[in-house]
Structure 1
């Protein structure tokens, strides 16, 4: 009986289990309705592209992309949408997911604030919001997340924290990353970190941490067991080292790069014997690598680059002997080691990456280095190597990346040596002195993926035979060579290029048809390539992948398409297109989202109306200058929120300047010159980053705005010449400390020149830091550790100097000039203007200025161009003119100057027209002589005789004055002073008696002498 009962009970249990499993299976994918609605509300706040999160529909939310649920309760426990590249905001509906244990939304484009209610998610173990654009203060409510083990808020560049005290409540926290979060206002951050005993990984890179003082270093909590510490890219000094060294005895990863560590590497590091990763790069460390590095036997990666380390190269390498079997990465680039040759690295059996750039290494690349047993990457950038030494059989080498750029390799392309390295995937020989033709032996490098031979002296032809074996090639750069591409129109490349740079090579005159086979082409530079064709239709079908396109300086004709295909790249907002200096025509099309667009020096017509309907939130650089564009500008510029440089110069644009220009808070440079704009300048008070304003040669009117001097502190160039401005020069311009170029010429400005111009620091201080107008519109990365910068350009400006208009580009940031010519200025030239010792050009011509030329004008020793013509200046030219040794252009004509022109080689070299219209001037180089310089020709025989002649008009005057002073100085005194007169005559009486007696005695003696001689005879 009991056995039957037992069997019965077992059957009942089995039936119940089956029913339970069936029920669980039936309900397994059913999520909680409240949480499903919260997820949908969260999705509504996101900005999604096309098919993103398409699975988020229906009732089964546990099957949605990125969602995980608990198998029993069906609550959402995991939300992982990392790197899905969506925008929008982090909606507070996320707080409805009360059972979340992991929330990962990293590397998207989320904006706005972190909801305070996120602190209510008490079951959270992992929170990762890194790599977004969140711009809030870190909510202190995060302190409620007592179960949190991982917190990553790093790389939200606009996030800030005022204190870190809330961290002390996260007792289970083991991983903390606040990299690039603004912590500049956090004072006691060290104490806050010390209160997290479970912390093993800490990342505070780029947080703006400042120098700490010994008093601010807290008592250490010995329970802290950090293994990874990153404090790189801050402003820390060596005072942080005691805390770093003592905070943990088990550190394996330490990054203190890009700080202000000075002097030698401290000896306290000798106890860090567990270090596997050490980065001290980009500091100011001096001396040699210390001896105690011999104890760091577990080192795998060591970065000491960009310091001031010195001593013998070989000695420093010997200090790493204990790690020679485990060291994988070594970077010693950019230091000051003594030896100029590469030491022996043969004992480093595990070395995979070696960086020895900028070490002044000369000679040839030794074969021993190429054939290190495990070396994969070798970087010898910026040295003085002139050759490569590779043994006959290079097949034993596994090196895949070889960078010898910026050296002195010369002669023919050394591919006969390098092509023996069969494993090469990346070869960079750019910026050398290689010559000769492009060799077919390059095809032997069948594994080659990236080849950079730019900026050499190579010539010859690239044909199909050379490229036929390079099936893995993705990058080819032959820029700045004399190479011609000879590829047939029906040639099908065996590779898929991602980057092609062939600027200054010959690809034309026809547009290269073989480009149509590169469906994934992102970077294309075929500028200066001799193309005089139109764009084929297929090219624009391929444009959806193009991020960087440069076809400038060709003769490409025809019109652009009316629209472009949507881009299929996640970095569409970084796209740069450059069409400058071609023969393109027609109206402007509707462009896709771009970072930079250059269309200058073409023949485009029509208006800019389509620009207002395009999506240009990311547009940073826009150059439409030197075209035939017309009409009025629409008031839609508030949509261009990222714009830095705007150039609409040299068109036929008219009407008023739109008020919405004043909303361009990021703008740095505006060129509207040589158009037909009218009205007044709209207020640009929000454009505090402006460095250059050029509204010249229009029909603008009104007065020079006062707000320019109050709200534009960075202004360097102000050019409004050729307009109809009236009124005085506002004294507020003197507040512009950075002002280097001021051009108010050809207006109707009245009043006097402000005395306060001497307050402009950039014009009074020769040591003032001057920055050029250099921009990078596009940066591309193609392999790890190497950064390739494309789209570099200089802003430019036309300045009137030395009597002509000249365009300044690379040197614009160095120019200093003031041009107030062709106005109605009155009064005198202020003496204070001579304090502008950094001024190169000064033009005050065609005004109504009076008075004298400032006597201290010679203090302006940097002057190269001076024009004071067509005024009413009078008086003599100051003698200090002779101190202006750099002066190469001067015009003082048509004034009322008089007197002698100061003598100096510089002044005498000018043409007589320089002084025309000043009837009172005399001397060289004028034909008339000054009074006192007139010498009769018959008395002048040669230069030596003229120099020795004493009897001149000045001599007679001096003689007469000397006689007058001497005579009356003596005789007048004797007449007035009776006592002096008695003494004077008594002196002469005594003197006459003495002379008489002396003569008598002398005569008597002589007589006696003659008598003796007569007696002897």
Structure 2
């Protein structure tokens, strides 16, 4: 019995040893490494022959060596020889076309050609890369007439065609919508599909948005900025219930976004419950807002610049508890700012209310001016504000100490002496107080603005000498003090 058991144990460990060797071979360790296969090495050599490489970044692509060790090349960890990763990004291929032979690398899963200075049309042979999961063709001067070539890339998860000319690719959306694995697609200059994501910004796209948008039920982000889209927003926009980021910035969209209440509001917004970022700036859209409307979403970013939002200040903003970036400049608002808005103003990282007809005084409330530690913006310029601003500027020394941003108050009716509290603002980059009724002398603490690049005090009632401390503003490259009552010279 004991002998039988010993034989069994011996056989067990023999099989275990054999299995371990098989695993060792499978994961390419020890002496089992064989390098890349000949056909893929030859394909890379052929590819190099078709390329112009003035920077000699492909110098390692020579001879009979192991192509898995060549620059930009990665082979499979499992097989040790199949080429699965090719990164040629950032090269200068001097405007040649993408070589068709790339389509012969059938095992590729990752292909990155971003900013590689290719030009011309995308070769349809890229559609042969049936194992491809990641494709980046962004930042190169390519154009597309027909977009049928990716239709066979069933494993593709990430597609980036940003800043490509897709103006003639009428089949773009149907093809991208048919790719079953697509999670992220960037096509800035047309539509940015995070199939979850769609980015087509800056892709020279024109025409109207249609109700076909409603097909993208899983779309999280839609970026169509910097194109030539026109016409009204389609009702199907409201069907994108997974949408978190909608960016239609800088097109020629027009017409009315209907009353945002009851049945009509459901057409465009009622299902957009996950929306956190909304940008329709630089269009001609009319936002006809019911003052009692409560949006179904909570935004952190809202850009409505140059849309028609006024004449009243949008009361529905009262429901938005997480807004940190708000741009409602040039939106035809002719109104005062309600107290509830000022009470939440400290939450904003960037606030632009410029180029409206907003009037009244800024209240004297407890918290300091709401700029942020990094690249903050407060732009109240080109309105009809009046009274003093310095009860805010001169509060909260500790909270303002790291502000790095822009304070723009020009073209209003602000008044009062310029107070000596600029020691609180050492990191301010732009200070524009021009075309107001500020008075008094320029305080010595203006010299504490050592990061200041632009100072505009034009057309006020400031008097006296310019303090020598202004020499400490060593980064200043724009200075306008005209139309005041200064005496003496600017300190050199």
- The answer for unaligned runs of 5 or more in structure 2 is 1-5, 85-106, 190-201, 259-263
Could you list the per-position Cα deviations for residues 48-79 of structure 1 after superposition, in whole angstroms to 9, with x for gaps in the alignment? 79449757956977777777665446332333
Q: Is the 8 A contact 1:307 1:335 kept in 2?
A: yes
Cα distance, 1:273 vs. partner?
0.8
Of residues 364, 368, 390, the one that matches 2:444 is: 390
1:91 maps to 2:97: no
Alignment of 1:499-510 (within 5 A): none
Superposition CA RMSD, Å: 4.3
Cα distance, 1:311 vs. partner?
0.9
Q: Cα–Cα, structure 1 residues 159 and 377, in superposed 2: closer, same or farther, change >3 Å?
A: same
1:146 maps to 2:196: no
1:307 maps to 2:314: no
Q: For the residues of structure 2 that align with 1:84 and 1:175, how far apart are their CA atoms?
A: 27
Q: For the residues of structure 2 that align with 1:222 and 1:31, how far apart are their CA atoms?
A: 55
Alignment of 1:361-376 (within 5 A): 361=414, 365-368=418-421, 370-372=422-424, 375-376=427-428
Q: Is the 8 A contact 2:470 2:491 kept in 1?
A: no
**Residue in 2 that maps onto 1:227:** 276
Q: Cα–Cα, structure 1 residues 168 and 68, in superposed 2: closer, same or farther, change >3 Å?
A: farther
Cα distance, 1:287 vs. partner?
1.0
Q: For the residues of structure 2 that align with 1:68 and 1:204, how far apart are their CA atoms?
A: 38
Q: For the residues of structure 1 that align with 2:366 and 2:129, how far apart are their CA atoms?
A: 55
Q: Is the 8 A contact 1:112 1:136 kept in 2?
A: yes
- The answer for unaligned runs of 5 or more in structure 1 is 441-1017
**Residue in 1 that maps onto 2:230:** 184
Q: Is the 8 A contact 2:238 2:266 kept in 1?
A: no
**Residue in 2 that maps onto 1:19:** 25
**Residue in 2 that maps onto 1:416:** 468
SS at match of 2:125: helix
SS at match of 1:106: coil
Q: Cα–Cα, structure 1 residues 87 and 307, in superposed 2: closer, same or farther, change >3 Å?
A: farther
Q: Is the 8 A contact 1:179 1:206 kept in 2?
A: yes
**Residue in 2 that maps onto 1:432:** 482
Q: Is the 8 A contact 2:238 2:272 kept in 1?
A: no
Q: For the residues of structure 2 that align with 1:79 and 1:129, how far apart are their CA atoms?
A: 13
Q: Is the 8 A contact 2:466 2:491 kept in 1?
A: no
**Residue in 2 that maps onto 1:109:** 141
Q: Is the 8 A contact 1:264 1:286 kept in 2?
A: yes
Could you list the per-position Cα deviations for residues 474-522 of structure 1 after superposition, in whole angstroms to 9, with x for gaps in the alignment? xxxxxxxxxxxxxxxxxxxxxxxxxxxxxxxxxxxxxxxxxxxxxxxxx
Q: For the residues of structure 1 that align with 2:39 and 2:289, how far apart are their CA atoms?
A: 51
Alignment of 1:554-573 (within 5 A): none
Could you list the per-position Cα deviations for residues 521-552 of structure 1 after superposition, in whole angstroms to 9, with x for gaps in the alignment? xxxxxxxxxxxxxxxxxxxxxxxxxxxxxxxx
Q: Cα–Cα, structure 1 residues 205 and 346, in superposed 2: closer, same or farther, change >3 Å?
A: same
SS at match of 2:25: helix
Q: Cα–Cα, structure 1 residues 258 and 87, in superposed 2: closer, same or farther, change >3 Å?
A: farther
Q: Is the 8 A contact 1:411 1:436 kept in 2?
A: no
Alignment of 1:316-331 (within 5 A): 318=365, 328-331=376-379
The structure whose RCO (Cα within 8 Å, separation 6+) is larger is 2
Alignment of 1:786-797 (within 5 A): none
Q: Is the 8 A contact 1:69 1:78 kept in 2?
A: no
Alignment of 1:734-745 (within 5 A): none
Of residues 184, 188, 206, the one that matches 1:160 is: 206
Q: Is the 8 A contact 1:305 1:332 kept in 2?
A: yes
**Residue in 2 that maps onto 1:706:** none
The higher radius of gyration belongs to 1
Q: Is the 8 A contact 2:394 2:424 kept in 1?
A: yes
Q: For the residues of structure 2 that align with 1:257 and 1:56, how far apart are their CA atoms?
A: 52
Could you list the per-position Cα deviations for residues 372-399 of structure 1 after superposition, in whole angstroms to 9, with x for gaps in the alignment? 257532321533567521249x56x664
TM-score, scaled to structure 1:
0.37
Could you list the per-position Cα deviations for residues 818-877 of structure 1 after superposition, in whole angstroms to 9, with x for gaps in the alignment? xxxxxxxxxxxxxxxxxxxxxxxxxxxxxxxxxxxxxxxxxxxxxxxxxxxxxxxxxxxx
Q: For the residues of structure 2 that align with 1:414 and 1:31, how far apart are their CA atoms?
A: 76
Cα distance, 1:205 vs. partner?
0.9
Q: For the residues of structure 1 that align with 2:41 and 2:333, how far apart are their CA atoms?
A: 59
SS at match of 2:120: strand
SS at match of 1:426: coil
Could you list the per-position Cα deviations for residues 312-360 of structure 1 after superposition, in whole angstroms to 9, with x for gaps in the alignment? 1x23x75987967889432212211123664422346255322223335
**Residue in 2 that maps onto 1:252:** 300
1:262 maps to 2:314: no
Alignment of 1:683-698 (within 5 A): none
**Residue in 1 that maps onto 2:87:** none
Q: Is the 8 A contact 2:466 2:487 kept in 1?
A: no
**Residue in 2 that maps onto 1:292:** 340
Alignment of 1:513-912 (within 5 A): none
Q: For the residues of structure 2 that align with 1:56 and 1:408, how far apart are their CA atoms?
A: 66
Q: For the residues of structure 1 that align with 2:457 and 2:480, how far apart are their CA atoms?
A: 5
**Residue in 2 that maps onto 1:200:** 244
Q: For the residues of structure 2 that align with 1:189 and 1:142, how far apart are their CA atoms?
A: 20
Q: For the residues of structure 2 that align with 1:52 and 1:88, how far apart are their CA atoms?
A: 23
**Residue in 2 that maps onto 1:218:** 267
Of residues 159, 167, 188, the one that matches 1:135 is: 167
**Residue in 2 that maps onto 1:592:** none
Cα distance, 1:177 vs. partner?
1.3
Q: Cα–Cα, structure 1 residues 87 and 347, in superposed 2: closer, same or farther, change >3 Å?
A: farther
Could you list the per-position Cα deviations for residues 541-589 of structure 1 after superposition, in whole angstroms to 9, with x for gaps in the alignment? xxxxxxxxxxxxxxxxxxxxxxxxxxxxxxxxxxxxxxxxxxxxxxxxx
Q: Cα–Cα, structure 1 residues 30 and 318, in superposed 2: closer, same or farther, change >3 Å?
A: farther
Cα distance, 1:200 vs. partner?
1.8
**Residue in 2 that maps onto 1:358:** 411
Q: Is the 8 A contact 1:30 1:62 kept in 2?
A: no
Of residues 8, 12, 23, the one that matches 1:6 is: 12
Q: Is the 8 A contact 1:409 1:432 kept in 2?
A: no
1:120 maps to 2:152: yes
Q: Is the 8 A contact 1:324 1:347 kept in 2?
A: no
Q: Is the 8 A contact 1:68 1:79 kept in 2?
A: no
**Residue in 1 that maps onto 2:114:** 82
Cα distance, 1:256 vs. partner?
1.1
Cα distance, 1:292 vs. partner?
2.7
SS at match of 1:311: strand
Q: For the residues of structure 2 that align with 1:120 and 1:166, how far apart are their CA atoms?
A: 22
Q: Cα–Cα, structure 1 residues 275 and 216, in superposed 2: closer, same or farther, change >3 Å?
A: closer
Q: Cα–Cα, structure 1 residues 173 and 406, in superposed 2: closer, same or farther, change >3 Å?
A: same
Q: Is the 8 A contact 1:262 1:286 kept in 2?
A: yes
SS at match of 1:237: strand
1:174 maps to 2:220: yes
Cα distance, 1:129 vs. partner?
1.7
Q: For the residues of structure 1 that align with 2:415 and 2:74, how far apart are their CA atoms?
A: 60
Could you list the per-position Cα deviations for residues 212-260 of structure 1 after superposition, in whole angstroms to 9, with x for gaps in the alignment? 25258617554641121211111111227899963x4232111111222
